[in-house]
Structure 1
Amino acid sequence: MGREMENQKTDFHEMEDVNFSDSEIVSHVRHALTSVILGNSDSYDELVGVLHHKERLSADEVAMLVTSLKALTGAVSYIDFVQHEALVFAILRMSMWQYGADVMDALLELVTSLAASNGKFVDLCLDMLVRNFMPPHYFLEMLKQPHGLARKDQVLSRVHTALKDIADLVPLAPMRLSPIVMQRMPNVFSKEPEIVIYVENMLRLESGSMREAVGGTMLPALVDRMVELDVEIGWEDILLNDSTKGVFDMELEDDEDDDTELPAELLSWKCLQGNSVAEKLDSLMVLTFEHLESCQSSGRLDKAFEILLASFRRTVLNVYKSKFTQFVMFYACALDPEECGVKFAMMLLDAFVSDVNPPLTRMSAVAYLASYLSRGKFLSPSLIASLLKRLVDWCHEYCKMHNVDINPRGHQVFYSGCQAMMYVLCFHLRSLVDVPRLKMQILHMPIEPILKHRLNPLEVCLPTVVKEFLQQAKAAQLFSTSGAFHFNDLLESELSRAFGGMDRLDMFFPFDPCLLKKCDSFIRPYFIYWSMVKTAYDDDEEEGSSSDEDVADDHILNGYREDQIDDGMVRSFDELDYLDEVDSVLNRMSITPKNSMKYARMPSRIRPSTSPESL
Structure 2
Amino acid sequence: MGMELENGQAQFQDMEGVNFTDSQLVDFIRGFLSSVSLGNTDGYNQLVGVIHHRERLSPDEVALLVTCLKALCGAVSFIDNVLHESLLAGIFKMSLWDYGPNVMDALVELITSLAVSSGKYVDSCLDMLVNNFMPPHYYMDLLKKPHGLIRKDEVFSRVHTALKDISDLVPLAPLRLEQIVVNKMQRVFFKESMTTVYVENMLRLEKGSLSEFVGRKILTALVDKLLDLDVEIGWDDILQDDFSKGIFEIELEDDDEITDAINEDSIELPSELSRKSLTGNVIAETLDSLIVLTFEHLESCERDGRLNEVFEILLLSFQRTVLTAYKSKFAQFVIFYACALDPEVCGARFAVTLADMFISCNDPPLTRMSAVSYLASYLSRGKFLSTSLVTTILKRLVDWCLEYSKTQHVDLNPKAHKVFYSGCQAIMYVLCFRMRSILEIPRLKSQLLLMPIGSILTHRLGPLKVCLPSIVEEFLRKANANLFTPSETFIFNGLLESEYSKTFGGTERLDMFFPFDPCLLKRCDRYLRPYFVYWSMVRPSYDEEDDDDDDEGSSDEDVAEVFPDRIEENLMDDEAMARSYDDREFDLDEFDSALNKMSITPRNSIQYRGDSVQMPSRILPSTSPGSLW
Q: What is the TM-score normalised by the length of structure 1?
A: 0.87
Find the counterpart in structure 2 of residue 260 from structure 1: 262
How many Å apart are 1:6 and its aligned residue? 4.4
Contact residue 443 and residue 478 of structure 1 kept, 8 A: no
Find the counterpart in structure 2 of residue 514 from structure 1: 519
Of 112-121 and 497-506, the range deviating more from structure 2:
497-506
Find the counterpart in structure 2 of residue 387 from structure 1: 393
1: CA distance between counterparts of 2:338 and 2:237? 27
How many Å apart are 1:542 and its aligned residue? 3.4
1: CA distance between counterparts of 2:322 and 2:337? 15
1: CA distance between counterparts of 2:232 and 2:507? 19
- 532, 536, 550: which one aligns with 2:568: 550
State the one-letter code of the partner of 1:409.
Answer: K
Find the counterpart in structure 1 of residue 341 from structure 2: 335
2: CA distance between counterparts of 1:304 and 1:203? 11
How many Å apart are 1:20 and its aligned residue? 2.1
CA 569–255 in structure 1, closer or farther in 2 if over 3 Å, else same: farther
State the one-letter code of the partner of 2:153.
Answer: D
Contact residue 36 and residue 44 of structure 1 kept, 8 A: yes
* Percent identity over paired residues: 61
CA 392–2 in structure 1, closer or farther in 2 if over 3 Å, else same: same
How many Å apart are 1:172 and its aligned residue? 1.7
Find the counterpart in structure 1 of residue 143 from structure 2: 143
How many Å apart are 1:189 and its aligned residue? 4.0
Query: Aligned with 1:60: secondary structure?
Result: helix
Of 419-428 and 48-57, the range deviating more from structure 2:
48-57
Is the counterpart of residue 541 in structure 1 residue 561 in structure 2?
no
How many Å apart are 1:124 and its aligned residue? 0.7
State the one-letter code of the partner of 1:175.
Answer: L
- 258, 269, 275: which one aligns with 1:269: 275
Is the counterpart of residue 470 in structure 1 residue 488 in structure 2?
no
Query: Aligned with 2:508: secondary structure?
Result: coil
Find the counterpart in structure 2 of residue 430 from structure 1: 436
State the one-letter code of the partner of 2:207.
Answer: S
Q: Deviations over 1:265-316 (max 9, x none)?
A: 9952232111111000000000000000000111111111111111101110
CA 220–36 in structure 1, closer or farther in 2 if over 3 Å, else same: same
State the one-letter code of the partner of 1:210.
Answer: L
Q: 1:337-356 to 2 correspondence within 5 Å?
A: 337-356=343-362
CA 253–348 in structure 1, closer or farther in 2 if over 3 Å, else same: farther
Q: 1:204-353 to 2 correspondence within 5 Å?
A: 204-239=204-239, 253=255, 259-260=261-262, 267-353=273-359
CA 395–153 in structure 1, closer or farther in 2 if over 3 Å, else same: same
State the one-letter code of the partner of 1:324.
Answer: F
How many Å apart are 1:549 and its aligned residue? 7.9
CA 259–55 in structure 1, closer or farther in 2 if over 3 Å, else same: same
How many Å apart are 1:589 and its aligned residue? 9.2
Find the counterpart in structure 1 of residue 134 from structure 2: 134
How many Å apart are 1:190 and its aligned residue? 1.7
Q: Deviations over 1:148-170 (max 9, x none)?
A: 11111111111111111111111
Q: What is the TM-score normalised by the length of structure 2?
A: 0.85
Contact residue 320 and residue 505 of structure 1 kept, 8 A: no
Q: Deviations over 1:226-257 (max 9, x none)?
A: 10110111122222798787889998945569
Find the counterpart in structure 2 of residue 526 from structure 1: 531
Q: Deviations over 1:132-158 (max 9, x none)?
A: 100111111211222211111111111
2: CA distance between counterparts of 1:424 and 1:193? 39
- 485, 492, 498: which one aligns with 2:497: 492
How many Å apart are 1:400 and its aligned residue? 0.7
List alignment gaps of at least 5 residues for structure 1: 557-564, 600-615
CA 219–480 in structure 1, closer or farther in 2 if over 3 Å, else same: farther
Q: CA RMSD in A?
A: 3.2
State the one-letter code of the partner of 1:207.
Answer: K
State the one-letter code of the partner of 1:158.
Answer: R
Query: Aligned with 2:413: secondary structure?
Result: coil
Q: Deviations over 1:447-496 (max 9, x none)?
A: 011011110100000000001101111222257945x5455453210111
How many Å apart are 1:173 and its aligned residue? 0.9
Find the counterpart in structure 2 of residue 78 from structure 1: 78
2: CA distance between counterparts of 1:2 and 1:50? 23
Q: Deviations over 1:203-241 (max 9, x none)?
A: 000000110000111111111001011011112222279
Find the counterpart in structure 2 of residue 560 from structure 1: none
How many Å apart are 1:404 and its aligned residue? 1.2
1: CA distance between counterparts of 2:468 and 2:335? 26
Contact residue 399 and residue 450 of structure 1 kept, 8 A: yes
- 556, 565, 572: which one aligns with 2:588: 572
Is the counterpart of residue 54 in structure 1 residue 54 in structure 2?
yes
Contact residue 4 and residue 11 of structure 2 kept, 8 A: no
Find the counterpart in structure 2 of residue 182 from structure 1: 182
Query: Aligned with 1:125: secondary structure?
Result: helix
2: CA distance between counterparts of 1:543 and 1:147? 55
CA 243–232 in structure 1, closer or farther in 2 if over 3 Å, else same: closer
State the one-letter code of the partner of 1:534.
Answer: R
2: CA distance between counterparts of 1:264 and 1:571? 14
Q: Deviations over 1:568-612 (max 9, x none)?
A: 565434499x9xxx9xxx9x997779xx7658xxxxxxxxxxxxx
Q: Deviations over 1:65-96 (max 9, x none)?
A: 00000000011111112221111111111011
How many Å apart are 1:507 and its aligned residue? 3.2
CA 569–333 in structure 1, closer or farther in 2 if over 3 Å, else same: farther
CA 167–335 in structure 1, closer or farther in 2 if over 3 Å, else same: same
How many Å apart are 1:553 and its aligned residue? 2.8
Contact residue 250 and residue 531 of structure 1 kept, 8 A: no
Find the counterpart in structure 1 of residue 16 from structure 2: 16
Contact residue 326 and residue 508 of structure 2 kept, 8 A: no
Find the counterpart in structure 1 of residue 42 from structure 2: 42
CA 84–236 in structure 1, closer or farther in 2 if over 3 Å, else same: same
2: CA distance between counterparts of 1:216 and 1:60? 46
List alignment gaps of at least 5 residues for structure 2: 544-549, 560-564, 575-580, 607-629
2: CA distance between counterparts of 1:571 and 1:481? 44
Moved over 6 A (4+): 240-252, 261-266, 543-549, 588-593
Contact residue 442 and residue 569 of structure 2 kept, 8 A: no
Q: Deviations over 1:421-451 (max 9, x none)?
A: 0000011111111211111111100101101
State the one-letter code of the partner of 1:524.
Answer: R
Count of residue pairs brought into register by the alignment? 580
1: CA distance between counterparts of 2:6 and 2:600? 93
State the one-letter code of the partner of 2:497.
Answer: E
Contact residue 249 and residue 592 of structure 1 kept, 8 A: no
State the one-letter code of the partner of 1:503.
Answer: E
Contact residue 112 and residue 166 of structure 1 kept, 8 A: yes
Find the counterpart in structure 2 of residue 604 from structure 1: none
How many Å apart are 1:406 and its aligned residue? 0.5
2: CA distance between counterparts of 1:566 and 1:159? 36
1: CA distance between counterparts of 2:279 and 2:273? 11
Q: Deviations over 1:38-90 (max 9, x none)?
A: 22211111111110133211111111000000000011111112221111111
Contact residue 382 and residue 533 of structure 2 kept, 8 A: yes
Find the counterpart in structure 2 of residue 607 from structure 1: none
2: CA distance between counterparts of 1:266 and 1:447? 41
Query: Aligned with 1:19: secondary structure?
Result: coil
Find the counterpart in structure 1 of residue 617 from structure 2: none
CA 240–10 in structure 1, closer or farther in 2 if over 3 Å, else same: closer
2: CA distance between counterparts of 1:350 and 1:242? 36
Find the counterpart in structure 1 of residue 153 from structure 2: 153
